Amino acid sequence: MTVRQPTFPRRLRNREPLVGCWMLVGHPVVGEFLAQQGFDFVVADGEHTENDVETLASVVRAVDAAGTDTEVLVRSPSADPADVKRLLDLGPRGVIVPQIEDVDAARCAVEAATYPPEGVRGVAGTRPSGYGTDLETAVERASEDVVTILQVETAGAVADAAEIAALDGVDALLIGPADLSARLGVFGEYDHDRFRDAVATVVEAADAAETPVGTLATTRENLETRHAWGMDYMVAGTDLGYLRDAGARYRETYAGLSTEENT
């Protein structure tokens, strides 16, 4: 792997309106195909899927091999520093860390993603350094070339949002609507005052720290609504969602044709 200087981290940190997609199916063909669809980034999910480290490694390689400007991010199975460090050794453009409970957990996640002396990420001759052929450059450039995105999906993270957003090494926040609404006791009630107030708190904290904040929209209908929350970037749907929607449209179209023929 050749160490290169990407534009994605700079564009994210500059709060450009980037759009990505969420990848649940852990097959390299899916990653390669999504990378050819014009998205700024693809998120390979390691939390709510059966995808293991080897599967995620194949997806990372496939997105890179597509030869497009699309970058790949990997969501860690947990906020455990061991998970974060191991996934970064696969060579993604960044890591998304879920279930951040408070500012202490946020600080721990950032340290796991950062080389010493600021952090505790282990130095190894893995894929990001061309398997050790350019280790010094990889370590020197990691803070610029690799992004750390923390998920805000707990009441504690909302309460500490201002401190979390201001932490050195936090490149962006990602609001998880489903988990956040559940943790607030209003699961799925995205218009509930408790949920909307929490989102507003996070957006205000991110704006004050000049830290990008985004979220996931699982349907085209809520894409506009969630963008209006004040998001800087958006994950616009999932691979399985695209399959479901396209399949339904084809099925409904054919059903309409069949009905016309029988009238």
Residue 67's pLDDT is 95
Domain-located, residue 3: no
Residue 78's pLDDT is 97
> pLDDT tens across 174-203, in order?
999 999 999 999 999 999 999 999 999 999
Contacts 24+ apart (CB under 8 A), 43-48: 43/72, 43/73, 43/74, 43/75, 43/96, 43/235, 44/72, 44/73, 44/74, 44/75, 44/92, 45/75, 46/74, 46/75, 46/76, 46/77, 46/83, 46/87, 47/75, 47/76, 47/77, 47/78, 47/98, 48/24
Q: How many domains, in total, are found in the chain?
A: 1
For residue 210, the domain's CATH number is 3.20.20.60
Domain-located, residue 85: yes
> pLDDT tens across 19-38, in order?
999 999 999 999 999 999 99
Domain-located, residue 156: yes
Cβ neighbours of 132 (radius 10 Å) = 12
Domain-located, residue 70: yes
Cα–Cα distance between 211 and 77 in angstroms, integer?
A: 24
Domain-located, residue 1: no
In the numeric block, the tokens 């029988």 are attached to: 262
3-class DSSP state for residue 197? helix
Cα–Cα distance between 260 and 263 in angstroms, integer?
A: 5
Enumerate the active-site residues.
Answer: 48
Q: Looking only at Cα atoms, what is the longest distance across the chain?
A: 75
Beta 41-45 vs 71-75: how paired, if at all? parallel
Domain-located, residue 257: yes
The low-confidence residues of the chain, meaning pLDDT below 70, are: 1-5, 261-263
Structural domain that includes position 209: 8-261
